[in-house]
Structure 1
Amino acid sequence: MRSLIEFACAGETLVGTLDAAPGTTGLLIVSGGNEIRAGAHRGMALLAARLAEAGYPVFRFDRRGIGDSSGDNRGFESSAEDIEAAATIFRRNAPHLTRIVGFGNCDAAAALALFHRTAKIDALILANPWAVEEQADDLPPAAAIRAHYAERLRDPRQWLRALRGGVDISKLVRGLLKSSASQSQAPDTLAAQLAEALSTAEIPVLLLLARRDNTAIAFLDAWCGTAFEQARGKAEVEQRDTASHSFASPDDKNWLFQRVLAAL
């Protein structure tokens, strides 16, 4: 059974959706970016219904300033109270729960990594975590640019296109310059904060990465660096050969469902 639930968070009213089921392990879905709780292409609503049918209760919600919830949208870095309030109301409305797994995509994955402790979440499923500082240009992250150029250089048709003048030279130069940059390892960067959070996590962590997604490529580049050395020994990583950031195709959706189901 699916029901709407209103609950308080820092003086505001949040709205969530509970897909009830008898299982003692439940999934808390945190939405990424400015997405409402249904998710891109209704992906999270469909995932929730499918998991509930398999016996696992699922709760998803709009954080402050998003969708049906009141307040100001201050971004994922200010969502600690929202996640904690959602986990609390989930337990209250499904009192048989003994374990909550948190799931988020993109910056919601980053938020869960940073704030899972205060919400007392028991395990994490992090899809395509956002680990990139705010961009001053309209180009993808440096690691994604490098991967993009490596793929194009292996294609003879792209060389022919370049010789015929079918390439934006100014954009090419900007891309090459950015691709040569390395990600900052300063302790105040988002990547460093995620490395610290995941290195000290005392719960199971599953990373799900879309192999050809720019956000996932950038995260994997950071993940292979020295800052994440301790975290690599604790987390499990699975990759899907897709460019879909939200796992939108039917096959991608099924892959995601199977991985989440196994984690539950």
Structure 2
Amino acid sequence: MRHQLSFACEGAALAASLDEAAGTTGLLIVSGGNEIRSGAHRGMAMLAARIAEAGHPVFRFDRRGIGDSEGANGGFESSGPDIAAAITAFRAAAPHVSRIVAFGNCDAASALLLHQPLALDGLIVANPWTYDGETEETDEPALPPASAIRARYLSRLKDPKSLLRLLKGEVDFRKLLRGLSALKAPAVPATPDSLAARIDGAFAALDAPATILLATGDRTAQAFTENCPAALGRALVERLDSTSHSFAGDDGAWLAERILGILER
């Protein structure tokens, strides 16, 4: 059964949803970007229902300034108090829960890492966001790493359909030129205060076990792989051959299976 509730965070009332279940290991879902707790196309609401049906309580919430929650939206780098308050509220609403594992995608994954230590028993971070000064809502999204662009163009050059599209003038030459220019650009090492370096450092300091989920065709996942190589050696990594950043459609079943496998360990 699902019910709605609210909890306090630094004087603001935050909206939340709890999918009840009898299990003692619960899942806390942290929303990415400026998404409300139901997620893109209700993806997180459907994920919560799947996990609860399998026997694990699931808690979702809108951080301050998002959806039904009060307060000012300070972005994912200011969401530490929101996550901490949500953990406390989850334990109060489901007192039989003895373990909480948190899941976040994109900048929600980054938030879970950056705001450690948190009272969590495990982390599941998907396609962590590592771009400085970028957001998912920018008109010109960040390009994937040069290695990913190179592999993509090589694959397309081998595909007769792609060559036919080029000859027919169906290719966006503006995007093509952007991609080609990125191949020439020298790799810029991450500075110590960059988001990528801070996320790498957060993995090194983690006390709780962590699992990284990556959609290999997603540019955010590709950037994380290139920018945070040390992190990949400090956690279990599972990869899905997909371009879906949010694990949409059939990818949702893969995501739910991986999360359930972790909750049931």
Alignment TM-score > 0.5, same fold: yes
Instruction: Name the SS for the 1:238 alignment partner.
Output: strand
Q: Distance in 1 between matches of 2:100 and 2:87?
A: 8
One-letter amino acid of the counterpart of residue 41, structure 1: H
Which residue of the partner structure matches residue 3 of structure 1? 3
Q: Per-residue deviation at 1:239?
A: 0.9
Residue 31 of structure 1 aligns to which amino acid in structure 2? S
Match in the other structure for 2:196: 191
Describe the superposition over 1:65-124 as per-residue Cα deviations: whole angstroms up to 9, x where unpaired. 11000111111111001100101100111112211101011110110111141x311101
For the 8 Å contact 1:142–1:180, the answer to whether it is kept is no
1:141 and 2:143 matched: yes
Is residue 27–residue 102 contact of structure 2 (8 Å, CA) maintained in 1?
A: yes
Specify the alignment match of 1:216 in structure 2: 221
Q: Is the 1:17–1:60 Cα contact (8 Å) retained in structure 2?
A: yes
How far is 1:151 from its partner? 2.7
Cα pair distance change 1:81/1:211, threshold 3 Å: same
In structure 1, stretches of 5+ residues that fail to align are none
Q: Report the CA distance shift for 1:168/1:19 in structure 2 as closer, same or farther (over 3 A).
A: closer
The number of residue pairs the alignment matches comes to 257
Say if 2:216 and 2:240, in contact at 8 Å, map to a contact too. Answer: yes
Does 2:252 correspond to 1:253?
A: yes
Deviations along 1:200-245, one digit per CA (max 9) or x if unpaired, are 2121111111111111111122233xxx1xx333201111111111
- Identity over aligned residues, as a percent? 56
2:181 equivalent in structure 1: 177
Partner of 2:243: 243
Deviations 1:150-173 (A, max 9, x none): 332333443455466555555433
**Structure 2, unaligned runs of 5 or more:** none
Change (3 A) 1:171 1:19: closer
Equivalent of residue 210 in structure 2, options 205, 208, 225: 205
Provide the C-alpha distance between the structure 1 equivalents of 2:97 and 2:116, rounded to a whole number of angstroms.
17
Query: Aligned partners of 1:34 and 1:16: how far apart in 2?
Result: 15
Alpha carbons 1:2, 1:18 under 8 Å: kept = yes
RMSD (Å), alpha carbons? 2.0
